A = this chain, B = another copy of it.
Amino acid sequence: MRELTVNLEERSYPIYIGEGLLTRAGDLLLKHGLSTKSPLLIVTDDRVGPLYLDSLTSTLEASGFNPVSFVVPAGEQSKSLDVFQSIITKALEVGLDRKSAVIALGGGVVGDLAGYVAAAYMRGVRFVQIPTTILAHDSSVGGKVAVNHPKAKNIIGAFHQPELVLYDLDTLKSLPPREVRSGLAEVIKHGLIWDEEFVKWCDDNAERLLALDPEALGYALYKGCSVKAAVVSEDETEQGLRAILNLGHTIGHALEAVAGYNELQHGEAISIGMIGSAMLGVQLGAPIEVYERTRRALGLVGLPTTLPEHLNTDRIMEALMHDKKFGEGKLVFVVPTAIGKVEIRNDIRSEWIFAIVERLKREESWT
Contact = CB atoms under 8 A, between A and B. Distances in A.
A97 B324 CA distance: 10
Interface in A152-211: 152, 155-159
B97 A157 contact: no
Given A81-B81, A123-B144, A327 B157 contact: no
A157 B123 contact: yes
B97 A327 contact: yes
Contacts of A152: 92
A98 B325 CA distance: 10
A124 B85 contact: no
Given A81-B81, A97-B327, A325-B97, A88 B149 contact: yes
A92 B327 contact: no
Within the oligomer, what is the number of copies of this chain? 2
Interface residues of A, number: 34
Contacts of A146: 123
Interface stretch (A49-57, A114-122, A132-140, A272-280): A114-122
Contacts of A159: 123-124
Interface string A2-46: 000000000000000000000000000000000001100000000
A285 interface: no
Interface in A86-127: 88-89, 92, 95, 97-99, 119-124
A123 B158 contact: yes
A349 interface: no
Given A92-B149, A92-B151, A158-B124, A328 B119 contact: no
A155 B123 CA distance: 7
Contact of A149 (B37, B85, B328, B329): B85
Nearest to A145: B123
B326 A122 contact: yes
Contacts of A328: 37-38, 97-99
Interface centre among A38, A99, A120, A151 (most CB of B within 10 A): A120
Contact of A121 (B98, B120, B156): B156
> Chain A contact residues: over half helix, strand or loop, or mixed?
mixed
A123 B98 CA distance: 22
Contacts of A38: 328
A327 B88 contact: no
A158 to B, nearest CB: 6
Contacts of A124: 158-159, 237
A215 B124 CA distance: 39
A308 to B, nearest CB: 29
A53 to B, nearest CB: 25
A152 B96 CA distance: 12
Nearest to A122: B155
Given A92-B151, A121-B156, A123-B158, 19 more contacts: A81-B84, A85-B149, A88-B156, A95-B325, A95-B326, A97-B325, A97-B327, A97-B329, A98-B327, A99-B328, A119-B158, A120-B158, A121-B155, A122-B157, A123-B146, A123-B157, A123-B237, A124-B158, A158-B158
9 contacts: A81-B81, A85-B149, A88-B149, A89-B149, A95-B326, A97-B327, A99-B328, A122-B155, A122-B326
